[in-house]
């Protein structure tokens, strides 16, 4: 994304402190997601073909971690630079928004798959019970 133009607004010291602390914790979360994603993907590779879920899940965690890392960098740029605080903040908000959008989409897909698996399991159980005469 190109840096949005801003009117040169500069955040106060107190506002910069809030952004710096938030950037610190977003950075931690990003690295947790990146390292966890790498470890999950590697374990998926070593357990193929059953590990395909780990490979995919690890790759997605890595991608989300990179979004959060970019957001933390933009937040940190608000604190460390002068002249474009609003532009940097908009980039940070856009990156966090993209990460949460991916999370929500994956959650919905996961829930649909879970509900489908439960319906399938119930159907198989019902059919097996009927075939065995269990009631």
Per-residue confidence (pLDDT) for residue 14, from 0 to 100: 94
- Asked whether residue 37 is domain-assigned, the answer is yes
- Asked whether residue 122 is domain-assigned, the answer is no
The dihedral built from the CA positions of residue 20, 25, 31 and 33, taken in this order, carries a sign that is negative
- Asked whether residue 134 is domain-assigned, the answer is no
Task: Give the model confidence (pLDDT) of 77-116 as tens digits.
Answer: 999 998 889 999 999 999 999 989 988 998 899 899 999 9
Q: What is the pTM of this model?
A: 0.74
| The token pair that represents 5 in the structure block | 């133009």
- Asked whether residue 21 is domain-assigned, the answer is yes
| The token pair that represents 36 in the structure block | 């966890």
Number of domains in the chain: 1
- Asked whether residue 63 is domain-assigned, the answer is yes
- Asked whether residue 30 is domain-assigned, the answer is yes
- Asked whether residue 124 is domain-assigned, the answer is no
List average pLDDT for each run of 10 residues in the chain, which is 135 residues long: 64 93 96 96 90 89 94 93 91 92 90 92 88 72
Domain that holds residue 49: 13-99
């Amino acid at each position: 994304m190109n840096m949005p133009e801003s009117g040169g607004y500069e955040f106060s010291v107190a506002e910069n402190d809030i952004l710096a602390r938030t950037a610190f914790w977003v950075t931690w979360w990003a690295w947790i997601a990146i390292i966890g994603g790498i470890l999950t993907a590697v374990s998926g590779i070593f357990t193929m073909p059953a590990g395909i879920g780990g490979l995919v899940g690890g790759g997605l965690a890595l991608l989300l971690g990179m979004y959060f890392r970019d957001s933390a960098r933009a937040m940190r740029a608000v604190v460390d630079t002068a002249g474009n605080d609003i532009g940097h903040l908009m980039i940070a908000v856009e990156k966090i928004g993209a990460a949460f959008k991916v999370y929500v989409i994956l959650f919905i897909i996961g829930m649909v798959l879970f509900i489908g698996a439960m319906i399938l399991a119930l159907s198989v159980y019902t059919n097996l019970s009927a075939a065995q005469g269990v009631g």
